[in-house]
Amino acid sequence: MSRPITTLSSPTLKIPSFSRLSLQTHKSQTISCHSLSIKARPLCSHNQTLKRFGLFLDSRDRKLGFRANAENGEGENERDGVFDDGERGESTMPERFRYLTKEAPDPPVRWPWFVALGFLIYAWRAVLFELGNWKRGVIAIIGFVGYLLKLLLAVVFHFIGDPITSLIRCIETAIYTFQAFYSGIVRSAPVPELTLIIMLASAVLAIGEAAAPNSVSRQPYLLTVSGLIGYAAVRNYISEPLFWTLLLGLYAFSRFIKKRDDVTSALPAAAVLAAIGEPWVRLLVMVSYLALAISYHSKQLAKGKEKVEVVTADTSSRVPVPLLCAALAIGIHVAAKWAGYRHLTWMLV
């Protein structure tokens, strides 16, 4: 059995020698042998299949091969020749020499950096040149913003300028008043008189608390108002008739509106008179208030209450604000005096 194949013009293709090989040259070349006849034909067109002429194309790895069939009496033998270096075995070079076969890296290219550096220097010079007048620009922007703020302030004051001015003056007056008050306390606080005021007022409060328990804790605001009235009378902020009228109003408010007893109602007025009055006024007020407390207590016993209920006082009640302010003034004056003395001592040392 013989099959025609197409001969290639490659010089590397070799056909093995066969016995009794004869070659004839005419219009179509014919090669004959004992068991294999090869007929050379012109190459086929591209539309024909390569397998027809003994060539095969592997679609998986695109390998071109050469197929030859022969009959030598022992059977049919098929051989594929593939021209590919990928099927060769692993290299037999020792491991210690394989690093020599690696390709050396190319030297880095540095000249583009010099070009970019030139452009950067030129751009930076341009930026510095443009920003050379930044100071004048910033001053102009700040001035423009200042003009806008002035315009806004003028518009605001045009509509509500008077109330804002009055509020500012009130705040300023309050600050100066507090500063003057604090300076007066530090400089010349009447410590003996304040101590006497605290003692006499505390005695009146103790009498009222003994006769009518919780009479102090039930009216803290009235006691605070009475202390402010007494301070205003001492500083001559109010006249004496107005002073007596305000004290009478406090008593009427507590007695007829709050519906409290006589001892509790007369406690704020009696405490103020005992604290800031003349010596004979202090004595008269304390004696009168003590007689009132005894009379109230006797009336409570005459009502048939042989066993007087013990009323526990409110231990969580705070000290009246006027007494607390007087004690604070004494403490500030003493502390300032001690601090001044120590400062002079340190300067002398």
pLDDT at 349 over 90: no
- Of 89-98, 168-177, 192-201, 275-284, the poorest mean pLDDT is in 89-98
Three-point CA angle 223, 227, 232, nearest 5°: 150
Looking at per-residue pLDDT, the higher value among 82 and 218 belongs to 218
So where are the chain's domains?
22-82, 113-187, 189-302+318-348
- Say yes or no to pLDDT of 1 above 80: no
Q: Residue 317: what pLDDT?
A: 66
Q: Which residue has the higher pLDDT, 61 or 333?
A: 333
Residue 79 amino acid letter = R
> Is the pLDDT confidence value at 5 over 60?
no
Which residues face 39 on adjacent strands?
A: 30
Written as one string, the DSSP assignment of 191-227 is HHHHHHHHHHHHHHHHHHHHHSTTTTTT-HHHHHHHH
Contact 191, 330 (CB under 8 A): yes
pLDDT of 225-266, one tens digit each?
999 999 999 989 999 999 999 999 999 999 999 999 999 999
Q: Which helix (H) or strand (E) holds 237?
A: none
CA–CA gap between residue 270 and residue 206 (Å, rounded): 12
b vs e for 240-278, b when ≥16 Cβ sit within 10 Å of the residue's Cβ? eeebeebbeebbebbeeeeebebbbbbbbbbbbbbbbbe
Secondary element (H or E) of residue 37: none
How many CB atoms within 10 Å of residue 227? 24
Estimate the crossing angle of helix 321-348 against helix 191-211, to 10 degrees. 150
Distance between CA atoms of residues 243 and 222, nearest Å: 15
Tens of pLDDT, residue by residue over 276-295, are 999 999 999 999 999 999 99
pLDDT at site 301:
85
Flag whether pLDDT at 273 surpasses 70.
yes
